[in-house]
A and B are shown apart, each in its own frame.
Chain A
């Protein structure tokens, strides 16, 4: 192991001593005295060697290699320890790295475009007062507003608009939806996106009235659907039954502007009326569907851009105020203010929904890693006590303390590095399954989860931090020994060395505290999820299939649509096994909603109630098992477009608008909207309360309008179908029936229970992962407590032997050990409760049906932890009870 250079140094020093001795003998000293005197004069040989070696410089590296080899040998020797250490580090670092990887992808990374930081979004500082239809989860703007900003602004060197849209790619039968983008002609140019084939859209492709529009497809779509063939250019795509010619493919890295989604095809905004059919929304000031982004001019700050936008806001909204805008909202529309916000990482629904939960989970995972480190520190401390003599010998032979600390840390670093490497491998798998988990939410999530330098840097930093966390204290502690006393090699001590076990007790107490926090958090999320699953929505969704039948390709005249749809539903009712079929505008708990202000016709004060609306056909309430409390259901034959317009209200509406009075027979008035005038309805029925938008909400006042009394009958049906058939059988039967009526009808299906469960993905994620982390935390704390108690029993076996020899009963010994464990547990639980009361508040917005300080949850967590932890002390306590005094006292 020693190098040639070491041998040479030895020889050099030997020569020095030999010459010194010879000189002394020459001067007349006795041979024996001369040797001793020479050595005394020379000083500590080992120390001189050590400081001389330090001068070699490159030896530093050699020494590291030497340390590494020594550390590796030790790790191989202590396989069980190494395995546990690497496993717990890999689990801890892997979980952290995986969560970080997903967070990095949704939150931290910039869009894959050049100079992303120049990109700003132009938006309303408040959308309060925006009325009409909203096409996007993201607050957006209307086409007239976009055009006005485009023509007036001077702050941006390039400004573009875009909106997301689903297009049906098939010409009939089952629908195949792809992700589309409406883009203004200059969008790709401003973003700096290059074509990987063909050409991209330009200003010339986006001119009002563009029929037969040009389309640009994404690289992924090109590869997937068109085999990456050059002949794709010039081919046409069918989008909602209209054709668009492919002119080019975008570069592979460009996925659009929403993180978590990709686009398949982009078409110019001017093509909207052509593809959607009819008048379109280009001149409609109440259709909010476009997001505006741009690159700010060089030298302009974001604040300057915002002031400029604010300066043009007043005239801009005055000129774009749509006719028929609801009177209550006109003032707000005119007071709209534009602002510029950073858009370097695009927009992301995934980010808005999951950023909070992911940070919370990352925090949880970090705590678990800290606990794993505490356990390792504990194990290393125990090992350090076993190596105390070895270290004392090395110190007395002249090794410096820094040198030994460094060598002990090398061992920890080696462990941490291997743990991190395994952890990163695991993280790749874990982050992918995390995204798969989120994918159950319906919309397909596409995230770039490559291991980039962010993730690697994060893992390396974690490895170093954990190494210091679990390695430094034991290393410092191990080298702080009084050489002389340790060399004597005593292991005897009547009671355990308080100071030495002090750190270990503190570690265990903090582990118990942290695990109580994580356990309480996990229980909160699990209960919250259970509350949501068990919440009574007011309707029965099991056995219900949702189907959407799109009739647009048939080109039915509006006056023919109702009878056509009624006939179609009748055919579906005739399918054997089908119990009920009804049409509905908005299926419950789908996330969509429609709301307006309502007042009673006979109320002179016109007291407004903000109410939700839906439009349903006869049989809807019985299909969903919503009880009819008073009055009657709609009647398809009686409630037609020519009869009195009728409505059914729920109990919440009766409570809010009618102070609990029976509403049947009352007349209600619905406010004017951009598309419909003020209108009166006769209330004919009262139904039970049911959830509308979301399972988490309080049930809101709801008004149901009659299905076939639509002012402009729509071109499709959304139907709920209750049956005892398997969903696949039922889907096949419905597809057959629809094709028999007209093969051009397109259909989509969804199982209602699944649709509702998809709204609970976030809760399920939190319950699953926090439960997992809580379990690991409890396990770690239990192992930690077990370790310390076992160690105490081993250290105190002399004392226990003496006590037993003096007449202590086994029960007393057990009590002694249990008191120790209970004390640690009590301190840990007290600290943990304080932590929980302080920190579970962070989860408040993610909880349903319970408070963060739910006493029952905290008590359950304390009890669970207490039982598990005390069970872990059973074995060491039994060992203590079985100590034979004679053997314990002789063991010296």
Chain B
């Protein structure tokens, strides 16, 4: 790997285990999307912090599809490109709600610990 690409990766944050699924479900909440679009959306939504690795994205999509949290269909785009488009199923929607509240709890808990740490240090 060259020096340049190493630098490019420096600002990135490794996705926490399992958060990619949440991000995918969240992205699909706004409407059906193909893999490339999902990757772009996540990157844009995280202000370029999260660079989604295709080696994680596609396995995740196919896994979620198998878990019936999302479904896939072929669509032809405006420039006549056949693409595989994913949409949220109702099970996926429920999963998203519960994962979101879990994530909120997680963030609160982590924030709480970090805050207490700071007062302790003061």
Contacts and interface: CB of A to CB of B under 8 A. Distances in A.
B51 to A, nearest CB: 9
A55 B59 contact: yes
A57 B67 CA distance: 11
Interface stretch (B11-19, B79-87, B109-117): B79-87
A16 B59 contact: no
A696 to B, nearest CB: 72
A300 interface: no
Say what secondary structure dominates the interface of chain A: helix
A52 interface: yes
Interface string B60-83: 011100100000000000010111
B54 interface: yes
A327 interface: no
Given A12-B35, A16-B54, A56 B62 contact: yes
Contacts of B82: 11, 15
Given A11-B84, A15-B84, A18-B81, A55 B62 contact: yes
8 contacts: A12-B35, A15-B81, A19-B83, A23-B40, A43-B55, A52-B58, A52-B61, A55-B59
B53 interface: yes
Interface of A: 8-9, 11-13, 15-16, 18-20, 22-23, 42-44, 47-48, 51-52, 54-57
Nearest to B65: A55
B36 A55 contact: no
B41 to A, nearest CB: 13
Given A16-B54, A43-B54, A56 B84 contact: no
Contacts of B34: 12, 15-16, 19
Given A11-B84, A43-B54, A16 B36 contact: yes
Contacts of B36: 15-16, 19-20
Interface string B12-56: 000000000000000000000011110010000000000001110
B83 A15 contact: yes
A81 to B, nearest CB: 38
Contacts of A16: 34-36, 54
B59 A54 contact: yes
Nearest to A19: B36
Contacts of A22: 79
B62 to A, nearest CB: 4
A8 B84 contact: yes
Given A48-B54, A48-B58, A12 B66 contact: no
A51 B59 contact: yes
Contacts of A20: 36
Nearest 10 pairs of A and B residues by beta carbon: A55-B62, A52-B58, A55-B63, A19-B36, A12-B84, A16-B36, A15-B83, A55-B59, A51-B59, A52-B59
A51 B55 contact: yes
Contacts of A56: 62, 66
A33 B26 CA distance: 33
Contacts of A12: 34-35, 58, 83-84
Say what secondary structure dominates the interface of chain B: helix
Given A12-B58, A43-B54, 19 more contacts: A9-B58, A12-B83, A13-B58, A15-B81, A15-B82, A16-B34, A16-B35, A16-B36, A18-B81, A19-B37, A48-B54, A48-B55, A48-B58, A51-B55, A51-B58, A52-B59, A52-B61, A54-B59, A55-B62
Contacts of A54: 59
Q: Which bucket holds chain B's interface residue count? A: 10 to 19
A19 B53 CA distance: 16
A172 B83 CA distance: 98
Contacts of B84: 8, 11-12, 15
B57 to A, nearest CB: 9
A13 B37 CA distance: 12
A420 B35 CA distance: 48
A44 B34 CA distance: 20
Nearest to B79: A22
B56 to A, nearest CB: 8
A408 B34 CA distance: 37
Contacts of A43: 53-55
Contacts of B53: 43
A287 B35 CA distance: 93
A11 B35 CA distance: 12
Contacts of B83: 12, 15, 19
A57 B55 contact: no
B54 A42 contact: yes
A842 B54 CA distance: 63
A517 B40 CA distance: 70
Nearest to B39: A16
* Most chain A C-beta atoms within 10 Å of own C-beta, residue among B34, B36, B82: B36
A19 B84 CA distance: 12
Contacts of B58: 9, 12-13, 48, 51-52
A599 to B, nearest CB: 94
A57 B58 CA distance: 14
A16 B84 CA distance: 9
Nearest to A11: B82
B55 to A, nearest CB: 5
A44 B55 contact: yes
Contact of B66 (A18, A23, A42, A55): A55
Nearest to B53: A43
Contact of A57 (B40, B61, B66, B79): B66
Contacts of A13: 58
A11 B83 CA distance: 8
Nearest to A53: B62
B37 to A, nearest CB: 8
Contacts of A44: 55
* Most chain B C-beta atoms within 10 Å of own C-beta, residue among A42, A51, A55: A55
Contacts of A11: 82, 84
A16 B83 CA distance: 8
A407 B36 CA distance: 33
A8 B82 CA distance: 10
A96 B63 CA distance: 46
A892 B35 CA distance: 49
* Most chain A C-beta atoms within 10 Å of own C-beta, residue among B59, B63, B79: B59
Nearest to B40: A23
A51 B63 CA distance: 11
Nearest to A52: B58
* Most chain A C-beta atoms within 10 Å of own C-beta, residue among B62, B66, B81: B62
B27 to A, nearest CB: 15
A43 B40 CA distance: 16
Given A15-B81, A20-B36, A57-B66, A47 B55 contact: yes
Nearest to A54: B59
Contacts of A51: 55, 58-59
Nearest to A58: B66
A54 B66 CA distance: 11
Contacts of A23: 40
A172 B34 CA distance: 99
A19 to B, nearest CB: 4
* Most chain B C-beta atoms within 10 Å of own C-beta, residue among A12, A23, A56: A12
Contacts of B81: 15, 18-19
B32 to A, nearest CB: 14
A52 B35 contact: no
A24 to B, nearest CB: 12
B105 to A, nearest CB: 28
A51 B83 CA distance: 20
A595 B77 CA distance: 106
Contacts of A57: 66
Contacts of B63: 55
Contacts of B55: 43-44, 47-48, 51
A60 to B, nearest CB: 12
A833 to B, nearest CB: 57
A115 B19 CA distance: 57
B76 to A, nearest CB: 10
Contacts of A9: 58
A59 to B, nearest CB: 10
Nearest to A51: B59
A52 B59 CA distance: 4
